[in-house]
Structure formats: C-alpha cells, structure tokens
Amino acid sequence: MAMKKDFQELRQKDDQTVVKYEKEFSRLALYAPGLIPTKQSKIHKFLRGLNRQISVHIIGQPSFDTFAKVRECA
C-alpha cells in the first residue's frame, strides 16, 4: 500500500535526472498496475511527474505511442 501511494505522489525532484526519475517510476509502477492500466495512462502519469522545466518542452509535442518514445524525448 505504501508503494502504491509513493507512486501516486511521485514527481521528479529538482536535482533528479530523468534517468533516475524513470527508474523510480518503473520500480514503483510494479506496485500500482491498477493506476496505469493502459499504455496511454502510463505515458500520461510519467509526463505529469516530470519536472516542469522539462515537461513544458515535451507536452504539446506529437502524441507519443510508446513509453520508450516519451522517455527518449525527456
């Protein structure tokens, strides 16, 4: 239950690289599959958790069809 809550509240920290954020995201996602039941919900959750300085450059780009594309773009 604690891991699920951690996943719900997960946000990239100011001093955290995208790589470290993605690793933490992927680790915690294993404990909360019901929160991201589809590929698009996983992408949306990842984008919402990105640091604002990064997300402003990504959101509004052509839609992503895979999580890998989002990760690479970030």
- Is 65's pLDDT higher than 90? no
What is the pTM (predicted TM-score) of this model?
Answer: 0.85
Which DSSP string corresponds to the chain? -HHHHHHHH----TT--HHHHHHHHHHHHTT-GGGS-SHHHHHHHHHHHS-HHHHHHHTTSSPPSSHHHHHHH-
pLDDT digits (tens, 9 = 90+) for 36-51: 999 999 988 999 999 9
Per-domain boundaries in the chain? 2-71
Q: Is the pLDDT of residue 34 over 80?
A: yes
- Determine the pLDDT at residue 18: 92
